[in-house]
Each structure stands twice: as structure tokens, then as C-alpha cells.
Chain A
Amino acid sequence: MTLIECENLTLSYGNNVVVKDFSLKLCSGDYLCILGENGSGKSTLLQGLLGLKKPARGNISFVGLKQNEIGYLPQKTSIQKDFPASVYEIVLSGCLGSMGVLSFYGKKQKNIALNNMDLLGIGDLKKKSFKELSGGQQQRVLLARALCATKKMLILDEPCAGLDPIVAKNLYQIIKKINNDKNITIVMVSHDIGSAISHANMILHMQNKPIFFKTPKEYCESLIGKRFLGGV
């Protein structure tokens, strides 16, 4: 089932065109990995897909998908450094998308939040203050929040930045598992090419113009892929 379709999407900051004439169709169960150099427009593209950034041209349509069925982990958050909030409060807030005007958390939401916290190994941080956590712990809190919001699609912008190798590996497995078991579509920006190639079913390489590869294998055999694989 198709979830998102974008056609000739162009995204720009003022006169600086970052993503040009980009077309893509994402179906349920897809696992898209976006690779590319710093500043090539990966994060911008994700913001475009999410509707956080208005397209300069072209359009994006959600087909079998609603805005509140997407979980999102931003690369750079707008969160204030000294914001007073507990881990539990933050993770729970991921459940809000699917709730109506009356947004009181019930048993269901609390269970979802607790499960996701356990999944990411932050169950014992529940009562802790977010601002007093380490960078990697904070990242895991935001990941748990993103998982709470995920119904059909999970969009992750460098999820493993700041995570130690064991947690990172574990995270890739968790993501792969929800991709397989729940047929959830994954869109992930990553600089970890090895895992990208082993988990994803398609690759998008960002450059002046995004280049799409139907399979990781095709990417490995291409010129760009070879160059990128052999150390940038």
C-alpha cells in the first residue's frame, strides 16, 4: 500500500535550492536509508516529507497515511537546554498525535510509553529530569518518544548519533524488528553505511540531485556507492 508520494519536490532556503525535482513513492514496509555528505540536504528532505518545511515547488501527498501516524526523531531539536521535564513526561507526549481534543493519558498510552522506555533501556530513568541526562541518554528518550508516535511510519534523522556502539547496534535491531513485525515504513538518515546496506531495502543518495537506488546491492555496485563505501 502506498503511503507517501512526492512529485518534483523542490525545497529551498530563500534562493538556496537544497533539494531539486525529487520524486519518490514509499509503501508500507519499505526501509529507506538516506546517505550523503554533510549539507547535502538530507535533513531538509525529511522536514519536507513531514510537512515541517513547505515545498518551493512540487507536492507531497499522504495516501494511506495520516500526519498523526508518523514518529519522528529530529537531528537537531528545538528543545531548550534547561527545560524542566521528566523522561516519562517526554516519552508519553509521543502518544498525543493519536489522541483527540481531550488529551488525558490512559492505561493504553502509559503502557506504550513504558514499553518503549524498556525497549531502549531507559526504564530506570523514568523520573529523571531530561536536562540532567547525558547526550546519549537524551537521544534514547527522544527515540522512545518517536516510537510512541509511530503507527505506520518512522522517520529518523541520524538516530545513532551520540549512542555507544552496543546501544546503536541494539537500536538497528529494534528498528529492523518493528519494520518486519509491524510492517512499519522506515525512513532513516544515517552515516553508518554498513548497517544501512544490511537493513534497508532501498537507498537514496543525496547530492546536488538525489539519486535513488532500488536495492542496496545496486548502490554498492554504482560509482557513487563505491566512492562512498571506500571512505568518503
Chain B
Amino acid sequence: MSDIISNILQYPFIIRALIVGIFVSFCAALLGVSLVLKRYSMIGDGLSHVGFSALSIAVAMNWAPVVISIPVIILTAVLLLHFSEKNKISGDAAIALISTSSLALGVIAVSITSGINIDVFNYMFGSILAINQSDLTLSIVISTVVLILFIISYNKIFAITFDENFAHAIGINVKFYKMLLAILTGIMIVVGMKIMGALLMSSLIIFPTLSSTRICKQFKSVAINSAIISIVSFIIGLVFSYFFSTPTGATIVVVDLLIFIFYSLVGILKQRI
């Protein structure tokens, strides 16, 4: 065991990937609790597609990827939230529309300019090799901000997730907190995309909560469990992908899936007893 650990930790790029990944999975899981329970999972998915096209267009144009994509994703978050508020059914469709169209635009922009180069490929499927020092700094700073905001507003986030109308009636600024959640999610997605890849990033948000709700009965335990599941599956996925040369993002998703199946079985067993 210690052999494996020392083997892995001798490479700086792995250490960077580990740190970024742990921070990102932790925060994504926390944000996911509210999104999934509010039936807003589609927003996470939409945001990651839009994030991808923003990043790939930026790469194609030789612009700074993060500087471009963060404002774009914030704007999209506001837009998607607006759609899903208006009408649940057509809202879902509108989100799918935005996410696929933006993906299409991104792919076209890329193919016209540089073709699918290695950077774009990395954003699509994720790569631990691509994590550099500035990604590390960015992810630590942003994760810390997300974490602090989440802890400060935790109880209000609960109230809004549980019963938005009541929260509004007793004077909580529902709009503000929902916007905050959507924007933080968008930013988290941009930060995590390099490791997880755009196509898989939303699983980091959705899976942990989905698994936790199989067995947890309190909001708090769902939140804590999700954070733990998220970090554990990231580490297992990363280590596995390192030794067996599988794509990191995809491996993590598979680990998440296995955990989900395990939790579901435990949940079913618990009900039987």
C-alpha cells in the first residue's frame, strides 16, 4: 500500500491533479446536493456543455480559456435558471437546446480554426497531465470561496431547496441564493473540466447526491455523505487510471456508478429489514 502511495506521489503532476481533483469533487458534490434535490440536474449538464464550447473557442482563438469561459458560464447560469423557473417542461427542453447548440458551435469553431487539437480533446474528456500550476492555484482559491459561501448559507440553502415558497414568504432572498448556487456551479464546472472533461463533469455534481439519497434521511447527512463519496471516488478513480492507463474522468464516473449501485442495494436491504 505504502509502495503504491509513494509510487504515485513521486510525480508532481499527479500531486497537482490530486489536489485540484479533491477540491473540485468536494465542492461539486456540495453544490450538487441542492441542484439534484431541486430537480435542477439538467442545469449542471447544460453548464458543462456551454463551458466546453466556451473553452474550446477560447483555445481556438488563442484567448485565455478561463478568463473567457467564466463570464460566459455565469451568463449561461443566469439564463438557464431563468428558463427552468419559467416552466418545468419546456424549461428542460430549453436547457437541452442551449447545451447542444453551444456544443455544436464550439465544435464548428474548433474545426474551422485549429481542428481538434490536444487542448480541446483534454477539455472534452479530461486529462490529469494537463493540470498546471495556475490551475492548481485557481482551483484552490475558487474552492475555498465556494466552501465558505456554502457553509455560511448552508441553512438558507436547505430552506430554499426544501420549500422555496415558504423561504420566500419568510423573507429569504430566494432569487439571490439560487443565482449564487447556479453561478458557483458554473465556475466549479469550468475549474473541474480539465480533469473530468466537459462530457463527464456533471456526473461529479449529480452522482454523489443521488447515491447518498439512497440511504440518508437527513439533509445534513446527504451533504456530508456526498462530499465523502465524491472525494473517495475521485481518489480511487485517479489511482486506478494511473496504474491501468484508463482515461481519468471516465474511470471516476465508473467508480461513482459502482458506489451508486452499492448504495442502492444497501438502501433496498435497509427497507427490507
Contacts and interface: CB of A to CB of B under 8 A. Distances in A.
A binds B: yes
A74 interface: yes
B240 interface: no
B165 A90 contact: no
Contacts of B216: 84
A72 B156 contact: no
B219 A78 contact: no
Interface in B209-227: 212-213, 216-222
A98 to B, nearest CB: 8
A171 interface: no
B82 interface: no
Given A86-B219, A89-B218, A52 B168 contact: yes
Contacts of B161: 83
Contact of A66 (B155, B171, B172): B171
Contact of B218 (A70, A85, A104, A149): A85
A86 to B, nearest CB: 4
Nearest to A78: B165
B220 A89 contact: yes
A92 B156 CA distance: 11
Given A85-B219, A97-B172, A77 B152 contact: no
Interface residues of B, number: 30
Contact of B162 (A79, A101, A149, A155): A79
B166 A74 contact: yes
B170 A97 contact: yes
B244 to A, nearest CB: 35
B167 interface: yes
Contact of A96 (B37, B155, B218): B155
A77 B218 contact: no
Interface in B236-261: none
B169 interface: yes
A72 B218 contact: no
A111 interface: no
Given A103-B154, A104-B155, A79 B170 contact: no
Interface string A80-109: 101111100110111011010111110000
B107 to A, nearest CB: 36
B153 interface: yes
Interface string B146-162: 00000011111011011
A93 B159 contact: yes
A84 B166 contact: no
Interface in B91-132: none
A105 B158 CA distance: 13
Nearest to B215: A84
Contact of A105 (B37, B155, B170, B217): B155
A68 interface: yes
A129 interface: yes
A67 B170 CA distance: 6
Interface in A106-149: 129, 131-132, 145, 149
A129 B153 CA distance: 22
A213 B220 CA distance: 47
A74 B220 CA distance: 24
Contacts of B39: 80
Nearest to A87: B218
Contacts of B167: 93, 96
B184 to A, nearest CB: 16
Contact of A86 (B37, B155, B170, B217): B217
Interface string B42-74: 000000000000000000000000000000000
Given A79-B162, A97-B171, 12 more contacts: A51-B168, A52-B168, A68-B172, A72-B166, A77-B163, A84-B217, A85-B158, A94-B170, A99-B155, A103-B154, A129-B217, A131-B217
Ranked 3 nearest A-B pairs via Cβ: A68-B171, A97-B170, A129-B217
8 contacts: A66-B171, A93-B166, A97-B172, A101-B152, A101-B153, A103-B155, A103-B156, A155-B169
